Structure 1
Amino acid sequence: MHKVAVIFTGGTISMKIDPRISAAIPALSSEEIMSMVTNIDKYADIEIVNFARIPGPHMTPQRMMELSKLVKKLVKRDDITGIVITHGTDSLEETAYLLDLTINSQKPIIIVGAMRNSSELGYDGSSNLSAAICTAISEQSKHKGVLIVMNNELNAASEVTKTHTLALDTFKSLEFGPLGIVDNDEAIFYREITKHIHIETETIEERVDLIKAVAGMDSRLIKFCVDSGSKGIVLEAMGRGNVPPMMVEGIEYAVSHGVVVVMVSRCPMGRVLDTYGYEGAGRTLRNLGVILGGNLPGQKARIKLMLALSTTNDLKRIKTIFEKGFYQ
């Protein structure tokens, strides 16, 4: 019998309606959640690990690192086949990506959540959790990095994002599609992940900000972040990787003060590239020292920069972490 450690952190999967306020709050214990996953004892021996009972927006980078350290300990145990982590969906992709970058293990690590709380009709927590456990015990799930299992789809932490505020299939790999599916309690994979990096660190640099570029934007927010002690800034630029001209001064200000600037696109798909050469365009920004962040969304690029800055301040090394494989 396979043993799966199920780490409970909270989220909608642990929520029900509190009649006093007529709103959902974390309330279910780990045992209560597992009791709704019927017949799972036929597939795996479950070891419950209580980490937290918080909603997704209460997750922090420090808590993510604590979770990473816990998972590293668990995967070293010979009796553990795989790890399943319940998580709030609002920050699930950020935690998943951090774990994917910091944990180097062949064992399956699965993150799962729910879009409906247990007081709602069609609560999806138990079905998602059973699918996650079935994925964790599958031989096919090894060497895949961290996976997200929701709505019977298998997605890579490095590719998936939350796309809808309500839909059960909210987690999608928009550019490449899912890795596979869970069908008849079996994980079935259709493709492999071609890019996978690992950042060895036990700490995280939290002073990294995220700024979204919009029409007519100037440099005030960038300068404020720099003057407030930012070590890194992620810019969600327009299109292929361009910003309004009035932002250039702020970017120069950041780079001259030793702040690492990484640029991604605010578009949901496609990588940034220094295709254009006008003022504020990608070629101008790259010549200033801006690092290109590939096809990552801003929230994931921020996690990656936090981890990179925890290991080095060398701009060339950080550039390699972000650009290797995309621009070589």
Structure 2
Amino acid sequence: MSTKPKVAIIGTGGTISSMGRGPLELIDYGAAGVVLDVHGVIARVPELALVADVLPVPFKAIPSTALAWPEWKQLVLICDRLSAEHPDLAGVVVTHGTASLEETAYFLSLTLKIPQPVVVVGAQRPASALAGDGPMNLLNACRVAADPGARGLGALVLLNDEIQAAREVTKTSTLRLQTFRTADFGALGHADADLVAWYRRPLRRLAPDTEFDVRGLDALPRVDIAYTYAGADGTAIEAFVAAGAKGIVTAGFAPGYVTPAMSEAMAAAVKQGVAVVTSSRAMSGRAAKTSKNTALGFVTADNLTPQKARVLLALALAHGITDLERVFATY
């Protein structure tokens, strides 16, 4: 009987699964059209057997630009099944493209209902690359998923030996290996060669102890993001409302302000029953809660990035939650 921890690996595609035309094809590797399934990814990293008994779980082999609500819900259901069918399961790893990795991770961190850790992992270089980062990222993700210290931290993100909280991490560079960073607070820990080292814990409410249960939901309400820039008018806000948006998140000037014309359109949207949440395009720090915005009915996203605020707002609206100030102060 093996003494290694059992770790399930769910494959969703992305760069970590992609094969380019040669070892130096680090950007246009998608042109080859070859994406490995989870079995193919695992086969290229035989060293995984040194740290875990791996359970491959085929899902989809698609870029993360194509992942959204349907796949997010399916991942929650797959994790439910794995936890129920394998009482000895230590943890779950989800391989994922880096484009929307942080959004999937945050969704899982809000909605999972299993006790096992879930670690979302990706790569900046394709599987075919010279000195690709995928194999070590995957191996370390398995180590973290199996580590007792990972329990109770919600979904985690692992790249470049760094363990990040799903709520806090964001992709900060297009090509650099250290792209996933937590600007204000730093990593939770490191997956070093000799041990998985932990240094802090997130304080906000995390799965599985959340009020969000997507297993009975058929869809999420439409929530859009409106980017602020010098001279922005209300056109985007009005278009989102016309398209049926139930919520709008603004990526405002730091610390969360928008232009007068945009604010006017946002106020009109609130009067039509649309939830409006203000965040900052700066990717660091809290969006300011001002008396003017409060009077207009806007809710602040705290320090969530616009894309993370969108995920939380959609879940809250889907569950009929109206006290959004509490939600954004809790999660």
Task: Tell whether 2:134 aligns with 1:125.
Answer: yes
The letter of the residue matching 2:328 is: F
Cα distance in 1 for partners of 2:71, 2:260 equals: 38
Cα distance in 1 for partners of 2:261, 2:212 equals: 37
Cα distance in 1 for partners of 2:32, 2:156 equals: 27
Cα distance in 2 for partners of 1:26, 1:289 equals: 48
Match of 1:231 among 231, 246, 267: 246
Corresponding residue of 2:272:
257
8 Å Cα contact 2:16/2:126 also seen in 1: yes
SS of the equivalent of 1:110 reads strand
Question: How do 1:20-99 residues align onto structure 2 when only pairs under 5 Å count?
Answer: 23-76=31-84, 77-99=86-108
Corresponding residue of 1:323:
329
8 Å Cα contact 1:141/1:187 also seen in 2: no
8 Å Cα contact 1:106/1:144 also seen in 2: no
Task: Tell whether 2:23 aligns with 1:17.
Answer: no
CA-based RMSD of the aligned residues comes to 1.7
SS of the equivalent of 1:271 reads coil
Runs of 4 or more, structure 1, over 6 Å off, are none
With normalisation by structure 2, the TM-score equals 0.90
Q: By how many angstroms is 1:26 displaced?
A: 4.1
Cα distance in 1 for partners of 2:164, 2:244 equals: 36
The letter of the residue matching 1:250 is: A
List runs of 5+ in structure 1 lacking aligned partners: 275-281
Match of 1:201 among 191, 207, 213: 213
With normalisation by structure 1, the TM-score equals 0.91
Corresponding residue of 1:277:
none
8 Å Cα contact 1:146/1:156 also seen in 2: yes
Corresponding residue of 1:103:
112
8 Å Cα contact 1:292/1:323 also seen in 2: no
Cα distance in 2 for partners of 1:32, 1:185 equals: 27
- Farther off after superposition, 103-112 or 4-13: 103-112
8 Å Cα contact 2:204/2:330 also seen in 1: no
Cα distance in 1 for partners of 2:211, 2:305 equals: 18
Cα distance in 1 for partners of 2:33, 2:157 equals: 23
Corresponding residue of 1:279:
none
Task: Tell whether 2:321 aligns with 1:269.
Answer: no
Corresponding residue of 1:299:
307
Match of 1:137 among 141, 146, 151: 146
8 Å Cα contact 2:7/2:52 also seen in 1: yes
Higher strand share: 1
Q: How many residues align?
A: 315
- Farther off after superposition, 191-200 or 112-121: 191-200
Task: Tell whether 2:210 aligns with 1:186.
Answer: no
Cα distance in 1 for partners of 2:297, 2:92 equals: 40
